[in-house]
Amino acid sequence: MRLWLAAMLLYGLIAQGAYAQAPASAQTETGTTLSWTGQKKTFRMPASERANIADNPSWTAPQKPFRIYGNTWSVGPHGLGVFLVTAPTGHVLIDGGVPGEARLIEANIRNLGIHLRDIKWILNSHAHADHAGGIAQLAHDTGAQVIANVADTPLLERGGHDDPEYGDRFPFPPVHVARTVTDGERLHLGNLVLTAHATPGHTRGNTTWTWISCEGTRCLHMVDVGSLSVPGFTLIGNPKYPGVIKDFEHSFAVVAALPCDIPLAPHPGMVNFWARVAKRKQGDVSALIDPMGCRAYAKDARESFKAQLAKQRAEAASAR
């Protein structure tokens, strides 16, 4: 209990520290209120969400930014995949961490010598608070346009409220989506091309982003694999998402079939990211390359999904 209290207090301090220049940040008994310069909207974080973030300390744990490969950089906290893809015509940021922690990502980007204002687009993997929570702040501070899958756009714009699985438990500052994309759409920014692969299920607009990064003449397929997990999801008879089972089955097949040299993910553990980074540090220069990584993740995720589905089917049968 004491540990829990300490974690909550620590989180409060971090949240306030992160918003040191935004004086409207305040902690109340039931939630943390965030507001940011130039934006009149305020966001009040409910206790359910503060507890969730406190339960996942890696989501807010600082992590030094570094080059993954070519023009692809890791700029997130230790426990979340936040990626910057750079190009002379402007940069692209993928995902924005949890609410109240955008400054950590911004500091990482600045530490690479990159100007926030040179970020042209912010993409989203899916509209959950641990990946979209900081996007409103990041869009404000960079001036970048937010681009998201058309099927996740309503959830982004209502700040995560009325999520088909989470309801109102994990909201985030609402995101204005400047441009929507659909399955297979390619985004061109100079020579940089990013492709949106719809991998629905975890959310309706869950997206796997792919692009190519080069070092010299060696160009590799980079894949930010969309989450295919079912954490406590209602898969049978969910009136808010009747097609969820079919969508997941589609997405496992899509991810398994992608050309995939360096698998990345919104949650590093999905693709053993840190284990591979550690191997590289020990001298294995190709340790981040794992052409079977996307397929392996899809297979594991499908097995978890099948187990959860079987359990829910058995429960539904015994309740009849």
Please report whether residue 128 would count as binding Zn ion according to CB under 5 A. yes
Q: Tell me the C-alpha distance between 217 and 207, whole Å.
A: 28
- Report the DSSP beta bridge partners of residue 314: none
Q: What is the footprint of Zn ion within residues 223-242 (CB under 5 A)?
A: 227
How would you classify the pairing of strands 66-69 and 39-46? unpaired
Q: Give the number of other CB atoms < 10 A from CB of residue 190.
A: 10
User: Of 35 and 227, which CB lies nearer to Zn ion in the complex structure?
Assistant: 227
From 5-13, 53-61, 122-130, 166-174, give the range in contact with Zn ion by CB under 5 A: 122-130
Cβ-proximal residue to Zn ion, closest one: 128
User: Of 124 and 227, which CB lies nearer to Zn ion in the complex structure?
Assistant: 227
Size of the site for Zn ion (CB under 5 A): 2
- Shortest gap between Cβ of 164 and Zn ion (angstroms)? 12
Match 């079977």 to its residue by tokens.
Answer: 292
From 49-57, 165-173, 219-227, 283-291, give the range in contact with Zn ion by CB under 5 A: 219-227
User: Of 120 and 128, which CB lies nearer to Zn ion in the complex structure?
Assistant: 128
- Shortest gap between Cβ of 90 and Zn ion (angstroms)? 28
- Shortest gap between Cβ of 20 and Zn ion (angstroms)? 29
Angle (CA) 302-122-66 rounded to 5° is 80
- Shortest gap between Cβ of 106 and Zn ion (angstroms)? 22
Chain CA centroid to CA 10, Å: 23
User: Of 108 and 227, which CB lies nearer to Zn ion in the complex structure?
Assistant: 227
Nearest to 140 by CA among 20, 22, 11, 61: 22
User: Of 160 and 263, which CB lies nearer to Zn ion in the complex structure?
Assistant: 160
From 34-42, 156-164, 182-190, 222-230, give the range in contact with Zn ion by CB under 5 A: 222-230
| Long-range contacts, stretch 316-319, CB < 8 angstroms, 24+ apart | 316/236, 316/237
Angle (CA) 17-114-141 rounded to 5° is 50
Q: Give me the residues that bind Zn ion (CB under 5 A), please.
A: 128, 227
